[in-house]
Homo-oligomer: A and B are copies of this chain.
């Protein structure tokens, strides 16, 4: 199945928006054994859209188009599709009903431009957009499938996952591709590759390994392709187990896990609780913990203590600790974690204090220096990290590492 992606929008060409949709689609298509041959980004221009669709349709089996389906005048993809197929539109009652439903929830009446979103080219099937007013469209010419979706990432993803991928699998009889992902933290990509080189070289040829690095983490994705799903699944499971046994201390989860979902799962299973005491992460850890539905079961709350004063008043950090050792020190994060654990009466407390940058670094403690601690029922442990000079990534890596330290302490408790 040869696929081309066309993304429409001036904002992509002038660089105001980075096209992340295409990478997401590319990954998902891989999951059904399809490969993207070409990605084309063009402006909201009638001729450009029609020409790009015609060119892509001549080369590919499937053309996925995103963008330009909003209700306003600059969104012209639907008109371009009508001109391309030389057809008019028909009204879809069930689409209008869905639009009206969305509007009712917000106590608003449907405007005429939104009502018009229910009019679709006569030769297409409507694809349900659970999260927005612009439906997707599925055209099948026999030779080529052309799909049009909104450019808003969460709407596109929902239509792809629920509507487009299942239809493509059915339409093209795709071979089975299975993926398992092993999630690691604590070792960079190249060192990790050295650690697992022997195992990787011995992989059977129907299983491929990909390294997917992200700040502070490396995901190892194993893909198996073949006809016999059951055999592939058992082979994959076997290799995942072998890999995990090679690097148990680096693996924090599998597949769709996140470090926060793993921590949440461990706490709920043990009926235990955690609170947070954050300085440089500024609330990121509690934000991650509470991003998991049902967080109130194990998370009563936390404090963000950005100033010396709040560290002392809210957490009982001693003035002499801050004066002699500074806010970014082992003693400070230990006192923060112990103080938070007392305050919230939880089983665990996690604390972080560091220099996220760009300012505040010293020769002793350069930007990227971060201390973190976890206080638990039996002990309080602290750990120091030296990250880089990018504020955003320092905050992200601090939060991830702190949650990983918490995970390890829960497992030891």
Contacts and interface: CB of A to CB of B under 8 A. Distances in A.
B71 A106 contact: no
Interface string A45-57: 0001000100100
A316 interface: no
Given A11-B210, A306-B296, A16 B191 contact: no
A189 interface: yes
Chain A contact residues: over half helix, strand or loop, or mixed? mixed
A108 B189 CA distance: 13
Nearest to A193: B72
- Copies of this chain per assembly: 2
Interface string A106-139: 1110010110000000000000000100000000
Interface stretch (A17-25, A160-168, A235-243, A374-382): A17-25
Contacts of A286: 282-283, 304
A200 to B, nearest CB: 8
A10 B310 contact: no
Interface string A248-271: 000000000000000000000000
The 8 closest A-B pairs by CB, nearest first: A282-B290, A15-B26, A283-B283, A283-B286, A15-B27, A301-B310, A15-B23, A39-B41
Given A14-B26, A283-B285, 11 more contacts: A11-B221, A16-B210, A17-B212, A71-B190, A72-B190, A75-B211, A108-B191, A111-B194, A290-B306, A291-B395, A293-B357
Interface of A: 10-20, 22-28, 30, 35-44, 48, 52, 55, 70-75, 105-108, 111, 113-114, 131, 152, 154, 179, 181, 189-191, 193-194, 200, 208-213, 215, 221, 223, 276, 278, 280-287, 289-291, 293-296, 299-307, 309-310, 314, 344, 357-359, 386, 388, 390-393, 395
